[in-house]
Amino acid sequence: MGSVKDLIVLSSPHEEKPGRGKFIFSDRYSVFDWGEMPDHIPLKGASLCLIGAYFFEQLERAGFLTHYQGIEEEGKNKRLFELKNPANEMVVSLVRIIQPPEIEGKYDYNIYQGIRGNFLIPFEFIYRNSLPAGSSLRKRLERGEVKLKDYGWDRIPAPEERLSPPVVDVSTKLEEQDRYLSWQEVEETGILQKEEIEEIRRTVLAIDGLITKEVERINLKNEDGKIELAFDKDRNLMVVDVVGTPDESRYTFRGIHLSKEIAREFYRKTSWFEKVEKAKLQNPVGWRGLVKASPPPLPSSLVQLISWVYQRIAMDLTERNWFSDVPSLEEIGERISQELLI
């Protein structure tokens, strides 16, 4: 399916009928849209599966529709409380993925005209509770790609400042290079009605609030994150993929990143990253072919720390000791700070 998790299709979705499948969460990871990176993060896959299941079950209790069906263990489909051991296979319902064709460097979304339901909405929805260092919105504001007035601001918020209300951004999902859109541009694709756009914004903010409350319980700050949505066969909004994991959300502990951002911070200091940024500017669609270098591996000590981040968050959220010999978030944060010279 992708660089981080695989998909086994048990039954394919059709126009009026959802399919059924399994996510296999791997120990792979990806940054900067590169694809699979050179290292594997031990126990990352199992940790992501547990965290994803935890948030899906919380969302269901709060009344949200999701595609989550359970976690597979010993050939059975189980809820979190039924699991005996960590597992990395999540059973989900499947919707259609309708790929917009690329025509002369532009994507044609007219393919969605007349399609009612049971499909992935081809956008990612990003909530932002702050603009920490490394935030894409902060960079776009600094480069002048978007204007302060677009967000009702008279200055760029400080990295530690909480946004009230949070910002909800949107980007493309099925294009070669993720591309930010204005809400007006989203409406102009004709995929969503104005009322549905407003419902999506309310839904994203509500999910953000739920995630924020849950991670505050374990002393994490929810800085930003992404959410994917689909329409079921009756065109009801449904939460898909996974939400709330350290891959989908950016968490901090006393100002120290405890998410996939750790790897990003390391790679931003490399010549490989400079080549990636240059290539994206030259050719937003075919940039990978311009990068002749490969990303260097992470230091083994940083691989261990990142692995602990995923394991510890999974254990603290679910309040179960799935893994052994994992330091506290405080100790992990201190060691990451030393490793990256923050």
Q: What is the pLDDT of residues 269-294, one digit of tens each?
A: 999 999 999 999 898 778 889 999 99
CA proximity to 101, closest of 174, 185, 35, 173 = 174
Give me the percent of the chain exceeding a pLDDT of 90.
86
The pLDDT value given to residue 342? 56
pLDDT value, residue 283: 87
Q: Model confidence at 131, in pLDDT bands (50, 70, 90)?
A: very high
pLDDT exceeds 70 at position 1? no
User: Is residue 143, in this structure, part of any structural domain at all?
Assistant: no
Domain count, the chain: 1
Residue 294: inside a domain, yes or no? yes
Give the pLDDT band of residue 3 (cuts 50, 70, 90). confident
Look at residue 34 and tell me if it is in a domain. yes
**Model confidence pLDDT, tens digit, residues 245-266:** 999 999 999 999 998 899 999 9
Concatenated DSSP letters for 239-282? EES--SSTTTEEEEETTEE-STHHHHHHHTTSHHHHHHHHHHHH
The answer to whether residue 279 is domain-embedded is: yes
Domain containing residue 47: CATH number: 3.30.470.20
pLDDT band at residue 2 using 50, 70 and 90 as cut-offs: low
In-domain check, residue 256: yes
What is the pTM for the complete model shown? 0.94
Torsion over CA: 283, 284, 285, 286 (sign): positive
Q: Which whole number is the average pLDDT over 205-232?
A: 97
pLDDT band at residue 133 using 50, 70 and 90 as cut-offs: confident
The token pair that represents 94 in the structure block? 């499947």
DSSP 3-state of 234? coil
Which residue, chain included where needed, has tokens 């070669």? 176
Asked, for residue 293, whether it belongs to a domain, the answer is yes
Residue 312 is assigned to a structural domain of this protein: yes
Structural domain of 314: 5-129+166-340
Q: How many CB atoms lie within 10 A of CB 336?
A: 22
Report the greatest alpha carbon distance in the chain. 56
Going from the C-alpha of 156 to that of each of 134, 161, 240, 261, 285, the distances in angstroms are 14, 10, 32, 21, 29
Q: Which residues are within 8 A (CB) of 8 and not within 5 positions of it... i.e. 6 or more apart?
A: 21, 22, 24
- Asked if residue 234 is part of any domain, the answer here is yes
